[in-house]
Structure 1
Amino acid sequence: MRIARPMAAKLFAAVLAIGLAVTGCASERGEDGGGDSFVFGAPGDPQSLDPSLASDGETFRVTRQAFETLLDHEPGTTQLTGGLAEEWSSNDAGTEWTFRLREGVTFHDGAELTGEVVCANFDRWYNWSGTYQNPTLSYYWQTVFGGFAENGSEDVPEANYAGCSAPDPLTAVIEVAEPSANYPGGFSLQAFAIHSPNSLEAYASDEAGGEGENITFPGYSQEAGTVAGTGPYEITEWNHSGGEVTLTRFDDYWGEAAHVEELVFRTIPEEDGRRQALQAGDIHGYDLVAPADVATLEADGFQVPVRDVFNLLYLGFTQDGHEALGDLRVRQAIAHALDRENIVNSQLPDGGVVATQFMPDTVDGYSEEVTLYEHDPGRARDLLTQADRTGVEFDFCYPTEVTRPYMPAPADIYELLRADLQEVGIRVSPIALPWNPDYHETTRNGGCDLYLLGWTGDFNDGYNFLGTWFAEPTLEWGFENEELFGLLTEARTEPDPATRVGLYQQANELVMDYLPGVPISSSPPSIAFSPDVEPPTVSPLTDENFAEVRFRE
């Protein structure tokens, strides 16, 4: 679908040349800056229209416009604020969380939000069985709330969720067995957005199937019509062949109404394709602008706001996969070989920084006392000689068909790191894999000696970074370090935030001494909009609210 703008293609270059904003005809603009349709170029398809079943940003970018969570974040920050709950509190032990719900909230299908509906959602997730216990479908539930009412295998963690009650229509009380650093931040995750009770009933008769790597999502999650949330937009169509999801303004929304009537997310995998579509007037905005394109776009009148840093790119090691990686000297040699400053200067937008540890300095728990590994090829060669590993060869995996906030050009970053490693005598065999699902599955299962991955934080707690990687043994990292695992368990269950931050600092220092991988950089990802758009407040969490978008008069 091309945006209907009479004469836009003919006038586009001339309009930009004289510095005027591109504007559409009057029929496309309401008096309040509203319009018929806003089209956004997304780097990838969503996996599901049910955010409970997802763990990827492209799904959440879409569903966040239609589904809301108990807690949210202040626009443009990582500060928690009320969502569907106006107020929230916990007992001193951190095991009972009480949410006072907003009054008068209705779902897209007309059902009312109540405490009982909140509990029905949480009880649904807790009672998942069979295929739903595969982390592909329940990653965030298992990460934040543990296992289920009846775990189907020993691989599933013990449940921490203990129940939910609704003492009155506008109150929900959620109980957990142990306090956790994942609360209250976890209540802001899209995976725990609240669904209509009518939707929950329909979901029960349309289940996921398959096992292992062959998971089939339930039918309701792959087409519009069944899912219903409380957000400012409702999902009305998913055109799989055309790579578009369409959402329509929900006129009975409890908060400020969306300005634009229709919101379309169009998948355009390549950054060049997204940029060209914006320049041609086919879309109004896109994410993950290549650093080299920022100046050009701004010079042509486009808006390119930059988010604050809240992510991390790292080079991971699978120690079980290669004997040499079990030697600390080899891991240190790799760290000294990498010219991370060159990555920042050549591949990242302004504001990118070399990472010294496995979290950005914007996260509580960052330490100034970690061991540093400066770029020192001579030191790297010496360490390899001491370990008798000069000429060692590693498989090096990197993803294709993807652009990530922390990794704008995976192949280019790989080439620079490969050259650094080869300079000190480390040979590299490249393995390029499509991001979804091959790369995820291969790295998660320990199939790469070296690999590039990263993370954009969900909320501001150090466990959301360190705990994501190093809370327990995994195939991906392939190492055992009981001191580190124990320290992060202590941090996770520590109810006092200040004490918890101190434990994170200790953990950062321990991680960088042990060196399970090399943190490379943190990057402020850019997002672009056409000149005629009043963009949403950009977020370090990449959780922009497109209901804020309006067209300029």
Structure 2
Amino acid sequence: MALIGLSGALALSVTACAESQRDAGADNTGTFIFGAAGSPKMFDPIFNDEGETFRITRQMYDTLLQNKPGTAEVVGSLAEKWESSNEGKTWTFTLRKGVTFHDGTPFNAAAVCFNFDRWFNMKGQAAQSQMIYYGDVFEGFAQNEGDASGDPVYKNCEAKDDSTAVLNLNKAKGAFPAAFTLPSLSMSSPEALKKYNADQVTQTGDSFSYSDYANLHPTGTGPFKFEGYDQGKGEVTLVRNDAHWEKAKLEKLIFKVIKDENGRKQQLKTGDIHGFDYPAPADYQLLRNEGQNVLIRPSFNVLYLGINQAGNPKLQDVKVRQALAHGINREQFVKSKLAEGSEVATEFVPKAIAGYTEDVPKYPYDPEKAKQLLREAGAEGLTLKFYYPTEVTRPYMPNPADTFTSISEDLKAIGINIEPIAKPWNGGYKDDVQKLGKHDLHLLGWTGDYNDAGNFVGTFFGREKPEFGFKNQALFDALAAADATQGEGPHAKAYEGVNKQIMEYLPAVPIAYPTPALVVGPKVQGMVPSPLTDERFNTVSLG
């Protein structure tokens, strides 16, 4: 999605107290400063789709369920207990008592139902188009507008009493309960949502603008509260929520935007920040030698080469897509460009996810076979527009330019003519490839949001999308059937079959399962690396 420059009125100066702490540098036991690679989109989780913003909103909001720190295991959060009935179409949540939102209003079952009803009844093509994760999980709205076309999974929500919320669905989904951990499904204060016109989303061309709630008054129940976003300094400031049941050790948390990785490294070295994400794999040992702590996450993601079949008719021929797969030296790329522990991807589901299977067609590096397939398809000398992002570092793609260079050189070697197109990540790249389909090839990836194969392959290939430009109803139906399959064993088995089908059709080329890391200074204690990049800062302290 295009990053929308928040209006000048949004720029808020942090308090004089914060200024005095900041002037003293990062060596402050009460204030943790994290070097962010990019600017936040805004602060309403339901409209967000990118990691830099989720890192911030996860500190301000809670979900009904969450992932146990350092794992993808589902544990309670705002809900202490949960159970399903009615063949998976009813979910009953027993809520934590005594919780309040940051504005002092109570969190209860009525607030849960208000949030679910808000999402389900969202009006406007612009707003619905920004609810990516809600659409992937709940499939449709009370009244679909724009691209939304599915039958809604959500039926209604009942507040049985203050501590009991019952969610009724029109059909079961194997993604639950894991999908209830999604940060997009965070609980917001109903009063704040109403007061600050939270549903107001407008679109101008390819750009979106959001409400005062999203920009100025995000209000959750999380361990940190929003204090301000100073755009001039590129700093988002959060302060401790003393009423949280897991009270944070830090008094203040600052996310400082430093887009240049060398700048982040230098500021960590000088102590101006306490940590940053996605250090370059080549720097791991250097950082360790300097006394920094490199925290490597287990692989829970995939990097892929996207193929838009609508962009060039030749790409509709599976032989051409197979040629692309055989033409990429993934082993060499992983060995030379990615972090220790990274592996070549053979499908779009990481090994840690139930549904991964070795029984899929594989496409080993074979440039001669790739050339032969291009000849058979009448696609010799094919020219393709290859999009790649700039001004970003992703967990599955530490250096997009390096990734593009490696893959494009391999493709040139089998006779593909590459037209490179670089665009800023938050300056049109994702819109161009995911909404407008301007590309032939592109680089993208995915870090799992919850522990379910459908969060990967269902998100990618569960319906017709401009990113891939194909319509394969048999594949769409197979994914829908797998998603609805109940029981851990049958659910995993269904996705194993789907993964085999996907790799036969080859709508894109899986490249790697990277192992991203984050790095923190020697004084930082309590930072638990998460495979879902779901680090919570309430456990962090400075020694």
For the criterion TM > 0.5, the same-fold answer is yes
In structure 1, the residue corresponding to 2:456 is in which secondary structure? helix
**Closer/same/farther in 2, CA of residues 329 and 141 from structure 1, 3 Å limit:** same
The letter for the 2-side match of 1:326 is: Q
Give the equivalent residue in structure 1 for 2:141: 148
Q: Which residue of 1 aligns with 2:191?
A: 198
Please tell me the residue identity of whatever aligns with 1:295.
Answer: Q
| C-alpha contact (below 8 Å) 1:307/1:539 kept by paired residues | yes
Q: Secondary structure at the match of 2:156?
A: strand
What residue number does 1:313 align with? 303
Taking the TM superposition and a 5 Å limit, the aligned residue runs for 1:417-436 are 417-436=407-426
**Which of 38, 53, 57 lines up with 2:32 in the alignment?**
38
2:540 maps to 549
How far off is 1:56 after superposition? Answer: 1.3
Q: What amino acid sits opposite 1:165 in the alignment? A: E
CA distance in 1, matches of 2:94, 2:297: 31
1:251 aligns with: 242
Deviation at 1:354, TM superposition (A): 0.3
Query: In structure 1, what residue type is equivalent to 2:143?
Result: E
Structure 2 counterpart SS, 1:116: helix
- AA of the residue aligned to 2:448: G
Cα distance in 1, alignment partners of residues 144 and 441 from structure 2: 33
Matched, 1:111 2:101: no
| Distance (whole Å) between structure 2 residues aligned to residue 328 and residue 206 of structure 1 | 43
Superposed CA RMSD in Å reads 1.8
Aligned partners of 2:322 and 2:134: how far apart in 1?
Answer: 35
Q: Which runs of 4+ in 1 moved over 4 A?
A: 1-6
Matches within 5 A, 1:382-421: 382-421=372-411
Partners of 1:461 and 1:409 lie apart in 2 by 27
Please say if residues 125 and 145 of structure 2, whose CA atoms lie closer than 8 Å, have aligned partners that are also in contact.
no
Q: Does 1:53 align with 2:44?
A: no
**2:79 equivalent to 1:74:** no
Separation in 1, partners of 2:457, 2:277: 26
Give the one of 279, 282, 291 matched to 1:292. 282
Post-superposition Cα deviations, 1:13-41, rounded to whole Å, max 9, x if no partner, equal xxxxxxxxxx95xxx4xxxxxx2210000
> How many residues are treated as equivalent by the alignment?
524
Quickly say closer, same or farther: Cα 1:511–1:2, change in 2 above 3 A. farther
Say if 1:91 and 1:437 are closer, same or farther in 2 by CA, change over 3 A: farther
What are the within-5 Å matches in structure 2 for residues 346-361 of structure 1?
Answer: 346-361=336-351
Establish whether residue 528 from structure 1 lines up as the match of residue 519 from structure 2.
Answer: yes
Separation in 1 of the partners of 2:319 and 2:126? 42
**Alignment counterpart, residue 157 of structure 1, candidates 131, 134, 150:** 150
Residue 489 of structure 1, aligned match among 476, 480, 484: 480
Q: CA deviation at 1:107?
A: 1.6
Structure-1 residue corresponding to 2:177: 184
8 Å CA contact retained: 2:127, 2:202: no
Correspondence list, 1:261-280, <5 A: 261-280=251-270
- In the alignment, residue 518 of structure 2 is paired with which amino acid? I
1:442 and 1:501 map into 2 onto residues whose CA distance is: 34
Displacement of 1:211 in angstroms is: 5.4
2:164 is equivalent to residue 171 of structure 1: yes
2:236/2:255 contact within 8 Å kept: yes
Deviation, 1:441, is 0.8
In 1, are the aligned partners of 2:203 and 2:209 still within 8 Å (CA)? Answer: yes
8 Å contact kept, 1:65–1:546: yes
Q: Distance in 2 between matches of 1:528 and 1:301?
A: 11
Match of 1:236 among 223, 227, 245: 227
Q: In percent, how many aligned pairs have the same letter? A: 42
Gaps of 5+ in 1: 9-22, 29-34
Question: Which residue of the partner structure matches residue 118 of structure 2?
Answer: 124
Q: Structure 2: which 5+ residue stretches go unaligned?
A: 1-18
Find the counterpart in structure 2 of residue 209 from structure 1.
202
- Partners of 2:154 and 2:455 in 1: CA distance: 18
Deviations along 1:180-216, whole A, 9 cap, x unmatched?
A: 1332122111111111232122133772223562321
Residue identity matched to 2:182: L
Cα distance in 1 for residues equivalent to 2:219 and 2:412: 53
Q: CA 1:356 to 1:166, structure 2 compared with 1: closer, same or farther past 3 Å?
A: same
1:476 is displaced (CA, Å) by 1.4
Q: What secondary structure does 2:418 align onto? A: strand
Aligned to 2:3: none
Q: Deviations over 1:308-363 (max 9, x none)?
A: 10000000111111121111111111111100011111111101100000111111
Instruction: Please give the alpha-carbon distance, in whole angstroms, between the structure 2 residues aligned to 1:294 and 1:3.
Output: 30
Whether the 8 Å CA contact 1:131–1:215 is kept in 2: the answer is: no
CA deviation after TM superposition for structure 1 residue 270, in Å: 2.0
Q: Of 371, 374, 385, which residue of structure 1 is paired with 2:364?
A: 374
Matched, 1:90 2:84: yes
* Distance change (3 Å), C-alpha of 1:527 and 1:196: same
Residue equivalent to 2:448 = 457
CA distance in 1, matches of 2:526, 2:403: 30
* Cα deviation code 1:375-414 (max 9, x no counterpart): 1111111111222222211111111111100000111111
- Number of the residue aligned with 1:15: none
